Amino acid sequence: METLLEVNNLVTEFRTADGNVQAVRDVSFSVAKGETLCIVGESGCGKSITSLSVIGLLPSNGSITSGEVKYEGKPIHNLPFEQMRKMRGTKISMIFQEPMTALNPVLTVGYQLREPLILHHKISKSAANKQGIELLKQVGIPYPEKRINQYPHELSGGMRQRVMIAIALACSPGLLIADEPTTALDVTIQAQILDLINELKEKLNMGVMMITHDMGVVAEVADRVMVMYAGKKVEEGTVSEIFENPKHPYTIGLLNSVPNVDDPDFELEPIPGSMPSLTEQISGCRFNPRCKFATDICREIAPPEFSTKEGHIVSCWLHEKVEEEVKHGHLTAQI
């Protein structure tokens, strides 16, 4: 598959009163056309900051201090503001977590749909309105001629999220970033939104970079998975490899934190402790304070990336031991 997005050794820092803190630490990954990469981990692991770094929407005190972001082989992390602004919507679009805060409450759906079309395609208001109605049809909103004149508060949560998807797709971007797109929705609407994103990805041959903490969502939509912990990538592989053959203790912990309604004997195994703060200094592997396998080397030296088979990468000194434990059933890893 043709590589669309390439991120190499990304480091993102924030300036604070206590000095600079790293939110993303030396992270590398790629997304191909027609592929869905899910970035997964607990709240605070750096998933959303990674996506904001890619699209150039970091807060004013944040910046990429090292590494590079390439789109279609060209660096975009150091583009001037105006050039980056032109890329947003036309090349890379983003669906945000909560549509009620992402949509402007005092502007109609139609106004917000027309804006990127007029700005990027330089078309008339009437032509943009016609395209806006077609986009609403495309994302499955009934009576689009009526909905286009309504305000966000007049729509349900699922409809607002569909409007967000329509706005994101208005200029036919190559890459769609979806940051927890189903968090605020009930499970029935969640499934509809995920099916819609998947259907549009295949129809338009887009790359999709989905941010989530829900392993159920990952199982449903991902082609590949990247697991992050405390700003670092700890494991990456195909969705089948990650679910059937996880090699990092944190990945196994995430899988075992999800209820399994089909197995009456299944017991939840929460990961002990909590995510370290960005300012917390941890020697060695950043997961070692919460890891039951941790040894002296884990506490002293940060593990490199081990490539266990093509496309499966893990940062763990003890990945072979963990793999054996999973194979012999001493550790469960299921969903």
pLDDT in tens, 89-109: 899 999 987 777 889 999 999
147 and 214 housed in the same domain:
yes
Say whether both 160 and 266 belong to one domain: no
Q: Is residue 233 part of a domain?
A: no
**Residue-wise pLDDT tens digits, 254-285:** 988 887 777 777 777 888 889 998 888 899 99
Give pLDDT, residue 22: 93
Q: 182-197: per-residue pLDDT in tens?
A: 876 788 888 888 898 8
Query: For residue 124, is it within any domain?
Result: yes
Domain end, chosen from 190, 222, 254, is at: 222
In this predicted structure, which of 33-42, 57-66, 266-275 has the lowest mean pLDDT?
266-275
**Does residue 234 form part of some domain?**
no
Same structural domain for residues 115 and 33? Answer: yes
pLDDT confidence of 335, banded at 50, 70, 90?
Answer: very low
Confidence at residue 329, expressed as pLDDT on a 0 to 100 scale: 63
**Residue at 117 is within a domain:** yes
42 and 158 assigned to the same domain: yes
Q: Are residues 184 and 94 in the same domain?
A: yes
Residues 60 and 209 both lie in one domain: yes
**Boundaries of domain holding 320:** 245-327
Q: Are 321 and 315 in contact (CB under 8 A)?
A: no
Q: How large is the average pLDDT for residues 216-240?
A: 94
Quick one: 71 and 168 in the same domain?
yes
Inform me whether the pLDDT recorded for 290 exceeds 70: yes
Model pTM score:
0.91
112 and 208 in a single domain? The answer is yes
Chain centre to alpha carbon of residue 119: 27
Rounded mean pLDDT of the chain?
90
By mean pLDDT, which of 139-148, 192-201, 223-232 is the weakest? 192-201
Statement: residue 328 has pLDDT above 90: no
Percent of the chain with pLDDT over 70: 97
How would you class 84 by CB atoms within 10 Å of its CB: exposed for 0-12, middle for 13-18, buried for 19 or more?
Answer: middle
Instruction: Look at residue 107 in the predicted model and tell me its pLDDT.
Output: 95
Pair 146, 107: CB distance under 8 Å: no
- Structurally, how many domains does the chain consist of? 2
Q: Domain end: 222, 237, 262, which one?
A: 222
Domain of 108, CATH number, reads: 3.40.50.300
Which pLDDT score, from 0 to 100, does residue 131 have? 94
Residues 170 and 254 in one domain: no
Do 83 and 200 lie in a common domain? yes
